Structure 1
Amino acid sequence: MHDDWAARIEAIWDDDALSDESRLERIDAVAAERPAGDPLALFERGGARDAAGLEADAAPLYRAALDGGLDDVHRPQAVIQLASTLRNLGLADEAVGMLRAELARRPASPLHDEASAFLALALVSVGREREAASVALRTLAPHLSRYTCSVASYAEELGEDTA
């Protein structure tokens, strides 16, 4: 059931012809097949609302999904999506805290770089642009074909100025 359920959810997300309202209705219908309070269903329902621009409706669903216990694939996604939603709702300080906690987790999430990108955005939203640039450059540096050490060093220098 789970594999079929996940495939149907993915098919809804992949259907670019759906309006936000139709996507939301379809996600809700498939999510309703799972038990009440199921973290994965809550996560998908939150994502549908988030994608439709209904951040205030998405946030409690993301929180409930995280409180309910998501697997290691969906938990970091939910943290990032909730943090982004909170930033959009004017709660960027909370988003910064969530993302810092996510980045401190060990072992590191496969979405570590993605969490860093959203941390940089949240830092800009709270007026800490130099720290945001430091985070972004630290994340980018290992992916560069040249100048990795220089960019990492400059990122550290920017970060020191914010301490």
Structure 2
Amino acid sequence: MTTDDALRARLDEIFAARDRAHMAPTIAAFREILAEHPDDPAVLYEVGGAYDTDGQEETALDYYRRAMAAGLEGHWLRQCYLQYGSTLRNLGRVDESLAVFDEALTRFPESESLGIFRALTLHAAGRPSAALGSVLAVIADRFSTPEVQRYEAALRGNAAYLLSLDDDQASPA
């Protein structure tokens, strides 16, 4: 299911006007659109994101799940995975968070942001070596600057070493 251009423009306008310190007007505006489009995946996602920004993580999780089940697609789905996985991590549900990030990276292997936020979850899971190793792998894989290219072998070697320090090895993102 795809959101039409006019609806997407309304959602983007509300998002652009949000005040992260005072989310009630944004939530109300998104919920008004939700009343008109109760099954639209983009609307469900934006409502979830607004609740998440407001610190209402448990409420946000339900909207993220519903958005994905309703057929959220493309970069919006990638963003939803990231926010969903991060929210689970923030709630201390690190195993669920890792599972979400692993699923997301299967669907979006080119995403630096998913790999980096997965590393935050590894750190929260008490696996700082794997977290740093994962970040180094993302840098080596996705940031092709002359300096990174010069030291690519060293970055990859250090990433592999750090990842090997965990008994339950994490694959580099």
Query: Do Structure 1 and Structure 2 share a fold, with TM-score over 0.5?
Result: yes
Residue type at the aligned position of 2:48: G
Match of 1:14 in 2: 16
- What secondary structure, in the 3-state scheme, does the structure 2 residue paired with 1:37 have? coil
Which whole-Å CA distance do the structure 1 matches of 2:4 and 2:109 have between them?
23
Gaps of 5+ in 2: none
Superposed displacement of residue 69, structure 1? 1.6
Q: Report what 2:116 is aligned to.
A: 117
CA separation in 1, counterparts of 2:93 and 2:15? 27
1:48 equivalenced with 2:41 (yes/no): no
Contact 2:18 / 2:26 at 8 angstroms: preserved in 1? no
**Aligned equivalents of 1:109, 1:78: Cα separation in 2:** 15
Which residues of structure 1 form unaligned runs of 5+? none
Q: Which residue of 2 aligns with 1:33?
A: 36
TM-score, normalization: structure 1? Answer: 0.89
Q: CA RMSD for the aligned pairs? A: 1.8
Distance 1:46 1:95 in 2: 16
Identity among equivalent pairs (%): 30
Contact 2:122/2:131 (<8 A) preserved: yes
Partner residue in 2 for 1:133: 132
Please say if residues 11 and 43 of structure 2, whose CA atoms lie closer than 8 Å, have aligned partners that are also in contact: no
Alpha-carbon contact 1:134-1:159 (below 8 Å) kept = yes
For residue 145 of structure 1, what is the aligned residue in structure 2? Answer: 146
**Within 2, Cα distance between the matches of 1:109 and 1:13?**
27
The one-letter code of the counterpart of 1:46 is: G
Q: Alpha-carbon deviations, 1:32-76, whole Å to 9, x = none?
A: 221x23222211110110111110110011111112221122111
CA gap 1:123/1:27 in 2 versus in 1, 3 angstroms: same
Q: Are the aligned partners of 1:32 and 1:41 in contact in 2 as well (CA < 8 Å)?
A: no
Partners of 1:39 and 1:9 in 2: CA distance: 12
Report the CA distance between 1:115 and its aligned residue: 0.5
Aligned residues: 159
Match status 1:158 vs 2:162 = yes
- Give the C-alpha shift of residue 109 in structure 1: 5.1
Give the TM-score, by structure 2 length: 0.84
Structure number with greater CO (CA < 8 Å, separation at least 6) is: 2
Alpha-carbon distance in structure 2 between the residues aligned to 1:103 and 1:145: 26
**How many Å apart are 1:117 and its aligned residue?**
1.1
Q: Equivalents in 2 of 1:109, 1:9: separation in Å? A: 27
d(CA) in 2 for partners of 1:3, 1:15: 18
